[in-house]
C-alpha cells in the first residue's frame, strides 16, 4: 500500500509541476487576418520547431503560398520533428500525386478524416466532417481560426485568381491554451489510428493502443481557466458548447454585437437572442456574404433578412471578395475567432474549434478588423428595397431555407 501511495504521490507532484510550468508561460494572442499573414507566422514557427508540428485543415489546396508551407513541413520532418497532417475527406478529396511521395520520404504522417468513398455525400452519415483549422508547434504556439490551407487570392471552385483576397481570420496563441489545443488534436488522431488498425484487421495493435491510452486525460485535463478558452463542437461531449458561448455573450451584451459569418443560418434561439438584444438598445451588426461562392446558403441566409431588419438588426453584405471569417465581438469584453459558422452544418454535424477571449486587447484587435472590413468592402441592406423584391425571389429564398433545414434534420434529427 505504501508503494502504491508513493507512486500516486510522485504522479501528483509531476502533474502539479507541469501545471505550474504551463501557467508560468507567457501568454499571447495575435490576430492574423488573411492567409498571407497566417502562413508567414506558421512558416516561421515550423522553421523553429524542435519536437512536433500537428496540423488539421479542412481544405489543403496546392496553389499560391501553400507549397511553401508544405516544404517547411517536409524540412521539419527531415530534421526529426514529428509532423502530423490531418485533412478532411470532403474538403480535400485529393492532393497532387507527388505530395504523398514527398511526405513518405520526409516522414510526414498524413491521414484523411472520413474519406468519402463510393457514393460521395449521398449517405447522411458522411456529412459529419472535420471542419477545424488547428495547428500546434512544440509546446509554445498554436493557431486556431477559419483559414484553410488555401491561398486567399485563389478560387478553388472556379479555378481563377481573385482581385481581392477573401476576408478570413485566425489567431496565434501562446501560453497554457496550447496544451488544450494539442490535447484535442491528439484525441482525434488516436481515434483514427485505432479505427485504421481495426479496418486492417490489426486487432492486437489496436487493442495495444487502447490499453496504452491514458484514459485519465479525458477528465483530468480541464480547459484552462482564464481570459482565453478553447470552445469545441463535436458529436459526443461538446455538442452545443459553441452556440451556448454565443448565446451567453449576446445575452449579456449592453452596447454592441458585431458578428461576421460566412454561412449564417442559425436556430431560432440565436435569431431570438439577436432580436432581443437589439430591442433593449444594443447595436447589433451582422456581416454576411454578398460576393458568394455557393448560391444555396446565400439564398437561405437572405430568408432571414426581413425579420432581423424589422427587429432593428443591421445587416451588411461583404462584396469586396469572399467572406469566410467566423468572428464576433460583444461590447469591449468578449470576442471569438474560429472555424464554426452559425449554421446547421457547423452546429450539428461538424467538428469545430473556436477560441474565445475576454482580454480587452484581443477584443480590440477583432473589432478593428471587423470595422475595417465593413468600411472597405460591405454595403448595408435597405429594408424598403428588400421588401420590393420579386415574389419569386422571396419564395426561392424561403424554399432554400427550409430545404437546408430538412436535409440537416434528416441527419441530425434535431436542431
Q: Which residues pair with 354 in a beta bridge?
A: 231, 338
Judged by average pLDDT, the poorest of 172-181, 182-191, 295-304, 400-409 is 400-409
What integer pLDDT is reported at residue 391 of this predicted model?
Answer: 83
- Tell me which of 221 and 167 has the higher pLDDT: 167
Q: Name all domains of the chain by residue range, CATH numbers in brackets.
A: 23-223 (3.30.870.10), 232-412 (3.30.870.10)
Q: Residue 215 pLDDT more than 80?
A: no
Render pLDDT for 217-247 as a digit per residue (tens, 0 to 9): 544 444 445 689 999 998 878 989 999 999 9
- Tell me which of 194 and 280 has the higher pLDDT: 280
Place of cell 521539419: 76
* Cβ atoms of residues 329 and 370 within 8 Å: yes
Distance CA 149, CA 324 (A): 13
Q: Residue 388 pLDDT more than 90?
A: no
What integer pLDDT is reported at residue 288 of this predicted model?
Answer: 95
Query: How many other CB atoms are there within 10 angstroms of residue 99's CB atom?
Result: 18
Distance CA 102, CA 396 (A): 48
CA–chain centroid gap for 202, Å, is 33
Distance CA 93, CA 112 (A): 9
Q: Supply the residues annotated as catalytic.
A: 131, 133, 138, 324, 326, 331
Share of the chain above pLDDT 90, in %: 62
Distance CA 246, CA 330 (A): 9
Render pLDDT for 82-124 as a digit per residue (tens, 0 to 9): 999 999 999 999 999 999 999 999 999 999 998 887 666 666 6
Place of cell 492567409: 35
Place of cell 485568381: 161
Render pLDDT for 3-24 as a digit per residue (tens, 0 to 9): 554 554 455 445 444 444 444 4
Distance CA 103, CA 73 (A): 9
411 — pLDDT class (breaks 50, 70, 90): low
Amino acid at each position: 500500500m505504501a508503494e502504491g501511495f508513493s507512486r500516486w504521490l510522485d504522479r501528483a507532484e509531476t502533474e502539479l509541476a507541469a501545471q505550474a510550468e504551463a501557467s508560468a508561460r507567457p501568454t499571447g494572442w495575435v490576430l492574423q487576418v488573411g492567409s498571407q499573414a497566417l502562413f508567414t507566422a506558421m512558416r516561421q514557427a515550423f522553421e523553429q520547431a524542435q519536437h512536433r508540428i500537428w496540423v488539421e485543415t479542412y481544405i489543403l489546396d496546392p496553389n499560391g503560398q501553400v507549397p511553401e508551407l508544405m516544404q517547411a513541413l517536409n524540412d521539419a520532418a527531415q530534421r526529426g520533428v514529428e509532423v502530423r497532417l490531418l485533412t478532411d475527406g470532403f474538403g480535400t478529396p485529393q492532393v497532387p500525386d507527388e505530395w504523398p511521395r514527398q511526405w513518405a520520404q520526409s516522414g510526414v504522417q498524413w491521414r484523411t478524416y472520413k474519406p468519402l468513398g463510393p457514393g460521395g455525400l449521398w449517405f447522411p452519415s458522411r456529412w459529419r466532417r472535420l471542419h477545424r483549422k488547428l495547428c500546434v508547434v512544440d509546446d509554445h504556439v498554436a493557431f486556431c481560426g477559419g483559414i484553410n490551407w488555401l491561398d486567399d487570392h485563389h478560387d478553388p471552385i472556379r479555378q481563377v485568381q481573385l482581385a481581392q483576397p477573401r476576408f478570413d481570420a485566425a489567431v496565434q496563441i501562446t501560453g497554457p491554451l496550447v496544451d488544450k489545443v494539442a490535447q484535442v488534436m491528439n484525441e482525434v488522431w488516436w481515434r483514427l489510428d485505432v479505427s485504421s488498425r481495426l479496418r486492417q484487421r490489426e486487432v492486437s495493435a489496436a487493442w495495444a493502443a487502447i490499453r496504452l491510452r491514458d484514459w485519465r486525460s479525458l477528465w483530468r485535463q480541464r480547459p484552462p481557466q482564464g481570459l482565453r478558452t478553447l470552445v469545441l463542437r463535436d458529436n459526443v461531449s461538446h455538442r452545443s458548447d459553441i452556440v451556448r458561448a454565443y448565446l451567453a455573450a449576446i445575452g449579456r451584451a449592453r452596447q454592441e454585437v458585431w458578428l461576421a459569418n460566412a454561412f449564417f443560418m442559425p436556430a431560432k434561439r440565436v435569431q431570438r437572442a439577436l432580436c432581443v438584444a437589439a430591442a433593449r438598445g444594443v447595436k447589433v451588426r451582422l456581416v454576411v456574404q454578398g460576393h458568394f461562392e455557393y448560391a444555396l446558403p446565400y439564398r437561405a441566409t437572405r430568408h432571414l433578412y426581413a425579420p432581423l431588419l424589422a427587429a432593428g438588426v443591421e445587416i451588411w453584405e461583404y462584396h469586396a471578395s469572399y467572406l469566410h471569417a467566423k468572428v464576433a465581438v460583444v461590447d469591449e469584453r468578449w470576442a471569438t475567432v474560429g472555424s464554426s459558422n452559425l449554421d446547421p452544418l457547423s452546429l450539428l454535424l461538424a467538428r469545430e474549434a473556436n477560441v474565445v477571449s475576454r482580454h480587452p486587447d484581443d477584443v480590440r484587435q477583432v473589432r478593428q478588423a471587423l470595422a475595417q472590413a465593413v468600411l472597405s468592402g460591405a454595403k448595408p441592406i435597405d429594408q424598403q428595397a428588400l421588401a420590393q423584391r420579386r415574389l419569386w425571389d422571396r419564395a426561392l429564398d424561403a424554399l432554400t431555407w427550409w430545404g437546408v433545414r430538412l436535409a440537416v434534420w434528416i441527419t441530425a434529427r434535431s436542431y
